[in-house]
Amino acid sequence: MDSASRLLTYQGIPVWRHVQIIQWAVQIVSGILVVALVVWFFSNMVGAIQDRDIPSGFSFLSREYQTPIGEHFIPYESSDTFLYALLVGITNTAIVAVAGVFLATALGIFIGVSRLSSNWIVSKLAMVYIEFFRNVPLLVQLFFWFYIVLELPAIRESFVVADAFYLSNRGFSMPWPKATEYSVAVIWLGLAAVAIVAGWLVYRRQARMEEQTGRSGYPLIYSFATALVIGAIAWLILSFAGGSSPFYISMPEPQGRFGNIVGGFTARAGLLVLLTGLVMYTASFIAEIVRAGIQSVGRGQTEAARALGLSPMSTLRSVTFPQAMRVIIPPLISQFLNLTKNSSLGGAVAYSDLTNIAVTMTQTAPAVSIFMLIMASYLAMSLTWSLIGNLYNRHIRFVGG
């Protein structure tokens, strides 16, 4: 072996065939490439910012935003700061996301179970629903609902149900609990939280008792009763002490010459359209997940449970459902995440979600900083959903299996 090729060997293997050396070389080269690319982009961006005098930095956050926001659930005025306006956007997105997740899950489970119904018509209707709403872009659906809501009657000719629910082209109003006095309401909410914790403790105690002794402990009944009793006692004491109950039900009522609706809770047209579209769209995916989850539980499981003498309801509750949940939860969480991200289409139907507000902001504030902030916000929301999903997954995974 001549000296040149001996120089290029390591542990007696030529370097270009030595696995460890190749792996290190690949890593170093790819690392350097990526770093170089990022540095190049960054220097270009810094150069462009300096050349064209584009504003940058985060000092704008404490400036006044001075732009009205169409819909806000926390008090907002044009004189508030950019930072606060972004917070308004985050709450708007969060409210759509949470309300949408609950409604879409409920509708999705309903449709998914209908799809598995032994009734031919019900099953086919569910299939038509799924195949239609899953296969049409959300944007097209949102525009469809947008123009449907536009064609609803004007506010003075609203559809009214039981003098409590009003539907017009301005939105949908319904009765809503409102705090009589803020401090009393907060105290009651705190006590209600205590009641729920107490109920949960009772549930655990009764369940353990049932497990250890075999006697029926009725954990659900006892825990609900505990929570309700504590909550009710707190309510009564606060009502007597404060002279009025912590919350009252505010009814929506048309007022004045234009029939504007005062009181209650009003989901304005933008929110109504966005929520309808998101819920109908996501429910079709959730229905498929629910169907696949229930079908994934082997027929033998149900048969064995029935053979052991469990009633059909108990079979569903203690055998089929817990096993289906293992299959259902991970994709369900990713649908929740998708719903949250899809709410960024709000801008197309006149709902001021986070993306819409932020994109409007780029006209008066540095775009680079704003996009960094929105990316961070959405990543935080994604992480929150993943965290919830992982916690639940840890709770339901196979133990010792």
d(CA 15, CA 36): 26
Surface-to-core class of residue 397, CB atoms within 10 Å of its CB (0-12 exposed, 13-18 middle, 19+ buried): exposed
**Shortest spacing between CB 333 and other proteins, in angstroms:** 13
Contact predicate 174/265, CB 8 Å: yes
Number of residues in the chain:
401
Using the Cα atoms of residue 196, residue 201, residue 206 and residue 211 in order, give the sign of their dihedral: positive
Query: Which of 92, 320, 335, 342 is in the footprint of other proteins by CB under 8 A?
Result: 342
Nearer to other proteins, 15 or 49 (CB): 49
Nearer to other proteins, 42 or 102 (CB): 42
**Shortest spacing between CB 166 and other proteins, in angstroms:** 23
d(CA 89, CA 74): 10
d(CA 292, CA 283): 14
Amino acid at 172: F
Query: Which of 259, 341, 350, 392 is in the footprint of other proteins by CB under 8 A?
Result: 341
Nearer to other proteins, 37 or 228 (CB): 37
Q: Is 120 in the site for other proteins (CB under 8 A)?
A: yes
Amino acid at 133: F
* Cα separation values, 131 from 111, 138, 286, 288, Å: 12, 14, 12, 10
Selected range binding other proteins among 64-72, 168-176, 269-277, 359-367, rule: CB under 8 A = 359-367
Q: Is 200 in the site for other proteins (CB under 8 A)?
A: no
d(CA 68, CA 89): 12
3-state helix vs strand vs coil in the chain, percent to 5: 70, 10, 20
**Shortest spacing between CB 231 and other proteins, in angstroms:** 36
Nearer to other proteins, 205 or 341 (CB): 341
What stretch of H or E contains 248?
A: strand 247-250
Q: Is 318 in the site for other proteins (CB under 8 A)?
A: no
Query: Which of 92, 282, 352, 355 is in the footprint of other proteins by CB under 8 A?
Result: 355
Q: Is 57 in the site for other proteins (CB under 8 A)?
A: no
Number of H helices, E strands in the chain: 13, 10
Query: Which of 201, 308, 379, 388 is in the footprint of other proteins by CB under 8 A?
Result: 379
Phi/psi for 128 (5° steps) reads -60, -45
Residues 160-199 that bind other proteins (CB under 8 A): none
Residue 327 token pair: 């299959």
Nearer to other proteins, 117 or 244 (CB): 117
Dihedral over alpha carbons 131, 134, 136, 139 (to 10 degrees): 160
Selected range binding other proteins among 45-53, 163-171, 209-217, 301-309, rule: CB under 8 A = 45-53
Residues 122-151 that bind other proteins (CB under 8 A): 122, 125, 131-132, 135-141, 143-144, 147-148, 150-151
Amino acid at 277: G
Q: Is 119 in the site for other proteins (CB under 8 A)?
A: yes
Q: Is 45 in the site for other proteins (CB under 8 A)?
A: yes
* Alpha helix positions (H), 214-259: 219-242
d(CA 89, CA 376): 14
**Shortest spacing between CB 31 and other proteins, in angstroms:** 5
Nearer to other proteins, 139 or 201 (CB): 139
Rg (CA), the chain: 29
Q: How many residues bind other proteins (CB under 8 A)?
A: 55
Nearer to other proteins, 187 or 368 (CB): 368
**Shortest spacing between CB 383 and other proteins, in angstroms:** 8
Binding interface with other proteins (CB under 8 A)? 23, 26-28, 30-31, 34, 41-42, 44-45, 48-49, 51, 54, 117-122, 125, 131-132, 135-141, 143-144, 147-148, 150-151, 341-342, 344-345, 347-348, 355, 359, 362, 367-368, 371, 374-375, 378-379, 382-383
